[in-house]
Amino acid sequence: MGEALLVAPVLGPGVTRRTVRLPRGSWYPHGDDVPVSGGDSVDVEAPLGTVRTFVRAGAVVPVEDTTGRVHLHAFVPPEGQAGRGWLYLDAGDGAGPWRYEHYTLRRTGSRLRISAHVEGTTDLPGPEALRIVGATVRSARVDGRVVPVADGTLLLGRWSVLDIDLQ
């Protein structure tokens, strides 16, 4: 599913494990904060009702919660590497206001910088929060001002640059 997600469904009846060949790079099994190395195969549990999904390290992925609010999940890349993600929002009618956000991120040492470039209207609300996956957040600044972090999640509002210090 694009460059950021790899979906590995189980296709046979009674199957509870499967082998997944991951492309090169680091990948996070969905729901796990520890990446696995790609370029080889991994054996994963695949219980009934579960679709195994992996997220490429460096991806910024929008996630809609049960109330319809959008949050971002940023998957920390290895030292010196970068990543990106996109989000498109509209009024739902095909003719109303729209908003396109392009995110880039780069890890340098224990610093993670995420930048947002926004096109379209700013009348539509953007993502409300950002969760860092794969590292513990020591501190964070949004457009230069310190913001609180709870369980690896930052409340956003409008922003263009996030500087995050990792432990």
- Decide if pLDDT at 122 tops 80: no
Q: Looking at the structure, do residues 65 and 44 belong to the same domain, yes or no?
A: no
The arithmetic mean of pLDDT across residues 26-50, rounded, is 90
Q: Looking at the structure, do residues 75 and 125 belong to the same domain, yes or no?
A: yes
pLDDT score at 59: 97
- Model confidence over 77-121: pLDDT tens digits? 999 999 999 999 887 887 888 889 999 999 999 999 999 999 988
- Pair 75, 3: CB distance under 8 Å: no
CATH label of the domain that carries residue 154: 2.60.40.1180
DSSP 8-state assignment for residue 115? E
- pTM (whole model) above 0.85: yes
- Cα-Cα-Cα-Cα dihedral sign, residues 161, 65, 121, 147: negative
Domain total in the chain? 2
pLDDT score at 159: 87
Q: Looking at the structure, do residues 25 and 66 belong to the same domain, yes or no?
A: no
Task: Tell me the residue range of the domain where 45 lies.
Answer: 5-56
- Decide if pLDDT at 1 tops 70: no
- Residue (of 160, 167, 154, 161) closest to 73 by Cα position: 154
Q: Looking at the structure, do residues 101 and 113 belong to the same domain, yes or no?
A: yes
Q: Looking at the structure, do residues 145 and 73 belong to the same domain, yes or no?
A: yes
Kindly report each contact of residues 27-33 with a partner whose C-beta sits within 8 Å and lies 24 or more positions away, as own/partner. 27/54, 27/55, 27/56, 27/57, 28/54, 28/55, 28/56, 28/57, 28/75, 28/133, 28/134, 29/53, 29/54, 30/54, 30/55, 33/133, 33/134
Q: Looking at the structure, do residues 50 and 9 belong to the same domain, yes or no?
A: yes
Q: Is 95 strand, coil or helix?
A: coil
Q: Looking at the structure, do residues 95 and 45 belong to the same domain, yes or no?
A: no
Q: Looking at the structure, do residues 20 and 65 belong to the same domain, yes or no?
A: no
Domain end, chosen from 34, 56, 78, is at 56
Q: Looking at the structure, do residues 80 and 121 belong to the same domain, yes or no?
A: yes
- Residue (of 71, 68, 61) closest to 105 by Cα position: 61
Q: Looking at the structure, do residues 95 and 128 belong to the same domain, yes or no?
A: yes
- Model confidence over 66-75: pLDDT tens digits? 988 899 999 9
